[in-house]
Chain A
């Protein structure tokens, strides 16, 4: 598996919607565990008040990530492959939650 970063821009109106999406993503990544593995995500505020996210996954291919997104009903704006990870300090718990 390779590590990928997925950008989902202006995907949700509020935290409730994002929470629902997160639950779907978790269920589907559990079900598709041979294809994808969800590492972590960062939800961010867009300028227009909507929410987006950057998600870090391990996957067998970008197609597997799109399949996961399709079955979990998550938008995909961009997928990029991670070639190196530099951890300076672990995320503070509050951000990681």
Chain B
């Protein structure tokens, strides 16, 4: 059936294009390229009707997995997938029981890989954080799945800070994502619906604004006139219902979105005839097991009519019934919501913390934080330690939900309560948490004070896991200045943690030891971190596994070991994306952006920085670094916007104690000013910071800042002799050696800049060629002038042709993968051919599609042929 025929068959008007889009996406998915279709529109616009009309066209061989997000209370984590679990075998239910978004996504992959399957997730404007994570993963991978996913949401009630926007922004840029926005009906369509009735269609259209739900309710209400609102239309339908039927309607309104029949029977103590009466009003529907409102707007209309006393009484009865379900476990999130609405303090303190723990386990941290806050609202007269425990739970959930400021404020409250309660061991643990949060935001001196206090407390205590945590914190604080002591502290922490079965503190210590070892013996440190990463992945210690990969790749970036950086930052990124470790993900992206800049891969560096800035999270440093990278790419190419990025970096809230980042910023400002030929600005950007670097005796920072001063013809003193550091060599005027040192590090732009200072025509010509290859116009022009002054004529102008040959910036490996895609190979076959894992190939293909901005593999191949990246034999 075509789209028009389907629409007519289901009484849908003006939805032909939307249906055609769904049918087309389904055809694409069946042909092997998965699709994600986002269906949006205001409440009552007909999103669900559209999806149902589409589903009705599908043959028996197509399986539709359907789930819906809760619109009530604090959402239950992963609730749409609980719907799907009920409709499928036990694997899904087990995954839900076990974990969070990544686990659910893995099972979802298996389900979607089976035959022709369509996933429908409705009302994601109410989705919990873990469900949003599943959608993000889906958006990234859907093209490789060969399945269709349809996601619906209301877009009229989302404020600008709604977390769905961020997720939509991320997935909408995906390669196989379509967006269908449903618009109100035209007057002609409303007239069509009202045909045969004694109603003025123009008036009906005007009053309902063409909202299909309102139009139908108005037509079905039997009020004899057009009701003034959708709410009035719904209530008109209930006007003649019996008090028993209204009891059922009220109960479903408060217990929904879907109320089990057993619950309604228990709460209303009603007969099946009375249930039938309630269904006969037309506002409710039932599948035999559950009763729901035909539309969420109708439910909202009924809730608004309930008096506070009526609501309280009903919530109490629903709470009592839900606490003892006929089968399965009680639903803690739902119970916590009813408990609060019923003002039942004991029940809130039973169910809200339980719901919070379940939400945390599912990585729905925003919901976990809200459940802890709910418990705390009722905990004023509870013992100090119990309140402290709730605060600690809330603090951790806030931190993981990217609300670090709130996390810090809340953990400080917990510390005060632990002290008042005389619980020193718990106080130490809370201080360790605080220290982590403070260091994450670069508040070093406050962290110093906190650790000193924790050390004072553990001195009087028996040794425990908390002792190991304090040692880990202290090791972090001496990290840069005293590597020997940091190793010693971490080793001690590792053995104490092992003795007291504190797996977390042991993992932290282990990753610290490996990271510190890198600086003494690269191979040994790498071995330690690789082993740690493997073991931590296996034992599910994801944060520390990510930290191990991040540190290994980050060290590569720091010492210009590009191979090390590429291998482990890519692995870290993949791991963080797959496991929705967002705080680590942005950290890895910042390191990767910097490393790509150093490698001369500017397009990729700018893409990576942009990716980070589109979803920045709260930590200041990664945003700051990304803005500096973007500024440098722009300035080095002579593109506009470098100053905008530098200015923005001043407003991300970077702590003035993050010295290395401050020096990064000063160096970036100096470079941008030097490129613009403004030595006074170079002086302004570096003078004070150089003074501070000299005062703290940091050879590296002094050399880095003095380098730009020397290039700008400014005075700089105090640069140590260090033949291994290209900055020190340049700052002392040995540009030949500096160029060689940059060359050794594989930094061609920096090499060319150094060569430009060598008074030699061959060196200048070499630099000029390199810079044209990089599209580095400002320095290339600077060198061209110098060459002309030396009598060189006929310099080629503009970017070198070869840079136009692989204009889309694919890596060699990506080009290999793309050639095999062009040969028609599937990802599994490509993996075998190139000795890569299937997942790595999936990742390469996604990157290729992103870089070529293609929606399908076919489009990517066509774009690559157009751009000359692949040439037919």
Contact = CB atoms under 8 A, between A and B. Distances in A.
A81 B644 CA distance: 12
B798 A67 contact: no
A76 B775 contact: yes
A62 B641 contact: yes
A49 B809 CA distance: 31
B807 A69 contact: yes
Interface stretch (B53-61, B458-466, B863-871): B863-871
A55 to B, nearest CB: 15
Contacts of A24: 866
Size category of the binding interface on chain B: 20 to 34
A22 interface: no
Given A63-B606, A80-B640, A81-B641, A71 B867 contact: yes
A27 B561 CA distance: 40
Nearest to A27: B866
A24 B633 CA distance: 26
Nearest to B867: A73
B733 interface: no
A69 B809 CA distance: 12
A2 to B, nearest CB: 8
Chain A CB within 10 Å — which of B606, B775, B797, B853 has the most? Answer: B853
A18 interface: no
B640 A71 contact: no
Interface in B810-869: 852-853, 863, 866-868
Interface in B570-610: 603, 606-607, 610
Given A71-B807, A71-B867, A77 B639 contact: no
B610 A77 contact: no
A9 B798 contact: yes
A32 interface: yes
A4 to B, nearest CB: 7
B620 interface: no
A10 interface: yes
A56 B385 CA distance: 66
Contact of B640 (A32, A75, A77, A81): A81
B860 to A, nearest CB: 11
Contacts of A31: 853
Interface of A is mostly: mixed
B797 A63 contact: no
B371 to A, nearest CB: 38
A78 interface: yes
Contact of B797 (A10, A61, A67, A79): A10
Contact of A4 (B640, B808, B852): B640
| Most chain B beta-carbon neighbours within 10 Å: one of A10, A76, A80 | A76
Given A61-B641, A62-B634, A77-B777, A71 B606 contact: no
B777 A78 contact: yes
A63 B799 contact: no
B638 interface: yes
A70 interface: yes
B804 interface: yes
Contact of A10 (B603, B641, B798): B798
Contact of B804 (A73, A79, A80): A73
A32 to B, nearest CB: 6
Nearest to B630: A63
Interface in A6-45: 9-10, 24, 31-32
B498 to A, nearest CB: 49
Given A31-B853, A70-B807, A76 B799 contact: yes
A9 B796 CA distance: 12
A73 B866 contact: yes
Contacts of A80: 640
B808 A75 contact: no
Contacts of A62: 634, 637, 639-641
Contacts of B775: 76
Contacts of A71: 807-808, 852-853, 863, 866-867
A71 B853 CA distance: 9
Interface in A73-89: 73, 75-81
A67 to B, nearest CB: 7
Contacts of B777: 77-78
Contact of B607 (A4, A9, A63, A75): A63
Contacts of A61: 610, 641
Contacts of B807: 69-71, 73
A52 B747 CA distance: 32
A69 B638 CA distance: 16
Contacts of B853: 31-32, 67, 71
Nearest to B807: A70
Contacts of B634: 62
A9 B639 contact: no
A70 B640 contact: no
A70 B867 contact: yes
B776 to A, nearest CB: 12
B607 A77 contact: no
A80 B778 CA distance: 13
Nearest to A73: B867
A94 B866 CA distance: 30
Nearest to B775: A76
A66 to B, nearest CB: 7
Nearest to A35: B853
A76 B634 CA distance: 13
A38 B563 CA distance: 39
Contacts of B641: 61-62, 81
A4 B797 CA distance: 22
A79 B639 contact: yes
Given A32-B853, A62-B634, A62-B639, A70 B799 contact: no
B760 to A, nearest CB: 27
A37 to B, nearest CB: 15
A38 B634 CA distance: 21
Given A62-B634, A70-B807, A70-B808, A77 B867 contact: no
* The 9 nearest A-B residue pairs measured at CB: A70-B807, A62-B639, A81-B640, A63-B606, A77-B798, A79-B639, A70-B808, A9-B798, A62-B641
Interface of A: 4, 9-10, 24, 31-32, 61-63, 66-67, 69-71, 73, 75-81
Interface of B: 603, 606-607, 610, 630, 633-634, 637-641, 775, 777, 797-799, 804, 807-809, 852-853, 863, 866-868
25 contacts: A9-B797, A9-B798, A10-B797, A31-B853, A32-B853, A61-B641, A62-B637, A62-B639, A62-B640, A62-B641, A63-B606, A66-B637, A67-B853, A71-B807, A71-B866, A73-B866, A76-B775, A77-B777, A77-B798, A77-B799, A79-B637, A79-B638, A79-B639, A81-B640, A81-B641
Given A32-B853, A62-B637, A76-B775, 19 more contacts: A9-B798, A10-B797, A61-B610, A63-B610, A63-B639, A70-B603, A70-B807, A71-B807, A71-B808, A71-B852, A71-B863, A71-B867, A73-B867, A75-B798, A77-B777, A77-B797, A78-B638, A78-B777, A79-B637
